[in-house]
Amino acid sequence: MDEVKRIVLNQETDEDRVTSISLRPERLSDFIGQKDLVANIRVAVDAAKQRQEPLEHMLFSGPPGLGKTSLAHIISHEMNSRITVTSGPAIERAGDFIGILTNLEAGDILFIDEIHRMSKTVEEFLYPAMESFKIDFVVDKGPYAKTINFNLKPFTLIGATTRSGLLASPLRDRFGIFHHLDFYEPADLAKIIMNAARKLGVTLDNEAAALIAARARGTPRIAIRLLKRSRDFAQVETGKSAIEPKIVSLAMERLKIDSQGLDEFDRKILRVILENYNGGPVGIEALSATLNEESDTIADVVEPYLLKIGFLRRTSRGREVTEKARQHLLIP
Ligand code: ADP
């Protein structure tokens, strides 16, 4: 179950991290899909370059694996600037953060992934840093306490979050540019798969790419992972580097990924709601207790795609399984 679960979950694994370095698009022109967003970033980048100013702070929101980190790297590349990468949970103390901020040069990009998971103290440091490139910190206690002001170089903060709803509004308001990334269309995923296959040195035809794209849950990270698993099957079953459609079908069958890209865990969630809760509505906490899975994982990673394809419905009283999902699972 764990192995299967990992395959279609959009959270990053160590293997993804290694391949994503070589497969990551470098330029905006290599970034497939999300056309409006790419066009808007292009304008912002060109305008900042013409004015010779740093870019405005940018916030990317959307489910994991849709290209938020890739975009931050692309922007640093397009702006010819350095990038420092960190994440909300990684910055534990305000002291760590002061170090990061004071090391930034003019025009540098600071990318903070999972910015909604930053601690409140660290977040409060960020406000003056974002707004006026200043930080104030207090040294010593009681009568000896002194506030030290520090001027920072003008930098660009790029934040990424899977849940913009969890972001405090003072933080959200300090971003000049806000972009939401949505799930990709199968045609765009097929292009991403074709490009990745070329870089990995394997061949596959349009039909095989379309089969993978249909099961990739609108997510490039999953598309690339399924491509790599299909490559393994091609190598072992046929001894060739060409991935034929029948090999993709075989791989998906073995990995228990169905025609909609659902795995055993998705089907289990739907079945639990149908069988234990009479189809819903059921609250996320109850569901998380029954499934023994963190409610955040359900809300961030599993649920968005089920909502997107119309298998789940969110109501004020909880989650409900739809008729479409019943038919897919063939449950009356
Ligand atoms: P996120 O930060 O949103 O979780 P990443 O930027 O790490 O997602 O992207 C996950 C993987 O998908 C990376 O390997 C990246 O190369 C690939 N990818 C994402 N979006 C695209 C895209 N539009 N075009 C090509 N590859 C993409």
Q: What number is the average pLDDT over the span 114-122? A: 92
Confidence of residue 113 (pLDDT cuts 50, 70, 90): very high
Angle 42-223-34 from CA coordinates, rounded to 5°: 20
Q: What's the number of domains the chain is made of?
A: 3
Q: Quick one: 203 and 250 in the same domain?
A: yes
SS3 sequence, 292-316? CCCHHHHHHHHHHHHHHCCCEEEEC
Residue 254 falls in the annotated catalytic set: no
> Which of 221, 225, 228, 231 does the annotation list as catalytic?
221
Question: Is pLDDT above 70 for 331?
Answer: no
Q: Quick one: 191 and 286 in the same domain?
A: no
User: How close is the Cα of 69 to the center of ligand 1, in Å?
Assistant: 7
The pLDDT value recorded for residue 139 is 79
Instruction: Give me the percent of the chain exceeding a pLDDT of 90.
Output: 76
User: How close is the Cα of 20 to the center of ligand 1, in Å?
Assistant: 7
Q: Quick one: 43 and 169 in the same domain?
A: yes
Is 112 within the bounds of a domain? yes
The pLDDT value recorded for residue 1 is 42
Q: Which residues line ligand 1 (CB under 6 A)?
A: 20, 23-25, 31-33, 64-70, 160, 192, 220-221, 224
Range among 4-18, 27-41, 137-151, 159-173 with highest mean pLDDT value: 27-41
Is 290 within the bounds of a domain? yes
Q: Give 47-67 pLDDT, tens digit per residue.
A: 999 999 999 999 999 999 999
Q: Quick one: 233 and 287 in the same domain?
A: no
Whose C-alpha lies nearest to ligand 1, atom 14?
20
Q: Quick one: 40 and 158 in the same domain?
A: yes
- Residue-range definition of the domain harbouring residue 319: 264-328
Residue 156 falls in the annotated catalytic set: no
The pLDDT value recorded for residue 7 is 72
Q: Give 249-278 pLDDT, tens digit per residue.
A: 999 999 999 999 999 999 999 999 999 999
Question: Is pLDDT above 70 for 203?
Answer: yes
Domain final position from 236, 255, 274:
255
Determine the Cα–Cα distance for residues 279 and 282; give it in Å rounded to an integer: 8
Is 83 within the bounds of a domain? yes
User: How close is the Cα of 67 to the center of ligand 1, in Å?
Assistant: 3
pTM for the full model? 0.90
Question: Is pLDDT above 60 for 115?
Answer: yes
Confidence of residue 3 (pLDDT cuts 50, 70, 90): very low
Query: Which residues pair with residue 109 across a beta bridge?
Result: 83, 156
Q: What number is the average pLDDT over the span 283-309? A: 91
Question: Is pLDDT above 60 for 332?
Answer: no
CATH number, domain containing residue 39:
3.40.50.300
Q: Quick one: 150 and 106 in the same domain?
A: yes
The pLDDT value recorded for residue 4 is 43
